[in-house]
A and B are shown apart, each in its own frame.
Chain A
Amino acid sequence: MNIAVDIFLNSLVLGGVFLIVAIGLNIIYGLSRVMNLAHGSLYALGAYASVTLMWLGANFFVALVIAPFLVALIGLVIERTVIAPMRKRSIVYTLILTYGLMFLLDGLVRYFWGNEPRFVKLPLFLQDTVPILGTQYPVYRLATLVIIAATMAGLMLFLEKTKVGITLRAASTIPEMVSCLGINMKLVHIGAFVLGCGMAGIAGVVAGPLYSIDPVMGHEMLISSFVVIVIGGLGSLRGAVFAALLVGLVQTLAEFFITDLAMVIVYMLMAVILAFMPRGLLGEGRFE
């Protein structure tokens, strides 16, 4: 029973982190048809930014607010310098370019922070455990769930209720029409990219204390978030929610029963789902 509760909560945490990263990717793809393979590296940058901020004396919560903005800033620079010139060309080039960007960013991380894993020092009350349904569960993991839920709720409100959000959703469906209405699509593209990078930054800060912070942390996250968005349907936000929770659950279970080849099970799951639903669970490009 205790173990079942543990597994369930762990799968929620893992799925939640996947969700934030994958939603960032989906926002960028849904709004500007760019698939950013450097997304995992931006996630890693978020974690490293929080390490450096806390080394400079910031509190964990301060880092949680500032680091995503730093990552978003890097995203802005990337968008202006290399992504924008690629919009008119085939998506193959964008993929290869962002693949190169991934190695560049990983190389920079190695250059500045070295190869050794880093650790984040949490405030004392987050290091505790609390009893839940007969098991002692770490407070930080619960706090993670709250942060993720708050982020998602914020994003939902932004997209559903604010004028900018509604414009963004319209831009994802009929870009030409929105452009005709006098909305600057260039700004939409920039905004989408920066927002997506910020999401990756949030996920990086949140995941830092959960898993180890090392230069390759972004690679596995990138692959996992691809699995999530491909299962959920490219560009489909609601699909990503289902898929993230599903992948989180399957991966946690697989890691519990067969430690070494757990990821293989996840890929198998993806292959099986795609074999029967090639467009993912909810279909492609439903930005809602």
Chain B
Amino acid sequence: MKEGSNNMDKQPSAPVQISHKPMGPKIVALLIVVLCLAIFPFVVRNRFYVSLINQMLIYGLLAMSLDVLLGYTGLLSFMHNAYLGTGAYMMGLFLLHAAPSSLWLSLLVCVLGTLILALPVGWVQVRTGGLAFALLTLAFGMMFFTVAWKWYKVTGGDDGLMGVPHPNVSIFGLVLGNTGNPVVMYLLTLAVVFLCFILTWRIVHSPFGAVLEAIRENEERASFVGINVRKFKLLGWLLACGLAGVSGGLFILWRGYIGPTTMSAFAGAGVLMMVLLGGMGSLWGPFVGAGIFILMQDYISTMTEHWELFVGLVVILLVLFMPRGFVGLGDYVTRFRKG
């Protein structure tokens, strides 16, 4: 413990400094994107599209949190959607049984609850190596799924949680609207996702993020420098799970329903595919990936029932031919320009 906390401050600032490129253009680009998204529901009045983009943002947040694990810490999790489910169940149960109208309190409960569930799992997980870690996530994911599916009294089993109340969005007593309204819900999602993105961006580009990347690059060396690898892996894991919990809270507000299928292994493959499509280790890539994935899912599931076959094929082709995803395409372009 001691070495770990000491090294936090002394941790080589050099690599962090190097990665500090001029931030101006990036911030401007981010603000433009967020502004465009914010005025979108007022320009396009079709509720279907508003809801679709809402879904993309929620899954984008989930994919981004998986990217923190996969792209920055180098840990592969097949169960990340289980934490979306956990967050959603927590929030739904709290809204149903405890306080049907307090939005912020229930979001807090949802994140804390997800973290409390993620802690013992993570504690066991970080004790194992990289490969066993991935296999364990499959087993634990199955465990979460089984509990959600079979614990009928609490989770509603197959039927899931239905009729979750829509609380009002209010800041300091000022009521801004009800989450039952798609536009209000959309803006709430956008605001929360934006905050989470900024927060994660800051964390990932802090010395803490540098430590995570060091662990990804070479775990042994990282431990030789005196980094407490297990502790930092666990912190990275908790960060990712907490963010997934937030996306779960947004999910149940948006959908008003959560069922065990959201937590299945198949849904987990979807999240992985979003990260792959977008590109690992960029934070914004997964949002693009989630957008593409949800659009595809929307079109293809109306055409064929063998969606599973298609997902499998696309994942294989992506890994074989486009392992860096959408973000990687940009690199190809710059390389091409430079000759």
Contacts and interface: CB of A to CB of B under 8 A. Distances in A.
Contacts of B140: 267
A99 B315 contact: yes
A278 B128 contact: yes
Contact of B312 (A92, A106, A267, A279): A106
Nearest to A275: B124
A55 interface: no
A250 B124 CA distance: 20
Interface string A267-278: 100110011001
A95 B76 contact: yes
B138 A223 contact: yes
A103 interface: yes
Interface in B276-314: 276, 306, 308-314
B134 interface: yes
A158 interface: no
A222 B312 CA distance: 17
Interface size range of chain B in the complex: 35 or more
B27 to A, nearest CB: 31
A274 B272 contact: no
Interface string A80-98: 0010011001011101110
B253 to A, nearest CB: 29
Interface stretch (B7-15, B83-91, B146-154, B163-171): B146-154
B138 A107 contact: no
A235 to B, nearest CB: 10
B93 interface: no
Interface stretch (B44-52, B316-324, B329-337): B316-324
B312 A97 contact: no
In the A-B complex, the 10 residue pairs with the smallest Cβ-Cβ separation, listed nearest first, are A100-B315, A107-B309, A104-B312, A103-B312, A107-B308, A278-B127, A97-B319, A267-B143, A100-B316, A260-B150
27 contacts: A35-B134, A35-B135, A86-B319, A91-B131, A95-B76, A95-B131, A96-B272, A100-B269, A100-B311, A100-B318, A100-B319, A103-B309, A104-B313, A107-B306, A219-B142, A222-B138, A226-B136, A230-B132, A261-B146, A261-B151, A270-B136, A271-B120, A271-B124, A274-B128, A274-B136, A275-B127, A278-B132
